[in-house]
Amino acid sequence: EDKVVQSPLSLVVHEGDTVTLNCSYEVTNFRSLLWYKQEKKAPTFLFMLTSSGIEKKSGRLSSILDKKELFSILNITATQTGDSAVYLCAVEARVNTGKLIFGQGTTLQVKP
């Protein structure tokens, strides 16, 4: 059975800290891994990763995929209170279906 597991499930840090969120997966036909940020409403897209070892960056956020060890990490440097959210990892495991398998999510709280 395909599955995606995120850790930790929740995290509390202070502004300025650096955090690392983890996502491991077991799927039969891996195509891509996606990270989303969810703040009370709909998830919004952050990154899509398809190739191993290539870092994607957007400002203070970055992510990398290791297809050999079947995991990805999402790093947030110099955290701000606006980074408080649920971070979701999802894997596309079948081509041309539009299906995503989501992990449980990591709830990040950044305190002033």
Q: Are 76 and 83 in contact (CB under 8 A)?
A: yes
- Nearest CA to 89 out of 51, 54, 58, 63 is that of 63
State the nearest-atom distance from the C-beta of 30 to other proteins, in Å.
12
- Nearest CA to 25 out of 49, 55, 46, 44 is that of 49
Q: Which C-beta is closer to other proteins: that of 51 or that of 112?
A: 51
Which residues contact other proteins by CB under 8 A? 4, 6, 9, 31-32, 34, 41-45, 48, 88, 90, 92, 96-105
State the nearest-atom distance from the C-beta of 44 to other proteins, in Å.
8
State the nearest-atom distance from the C-beta of 78 to other proteins, in Å.
26
For residues 40 and 30, give the distance between their C-alpha atoms in angstroms, rounded to a whole number.
29
DSSP conformational letter for 54: P
Q: Which C-beta is closer to other proteins: that of 34 or that of 108?
A: 34
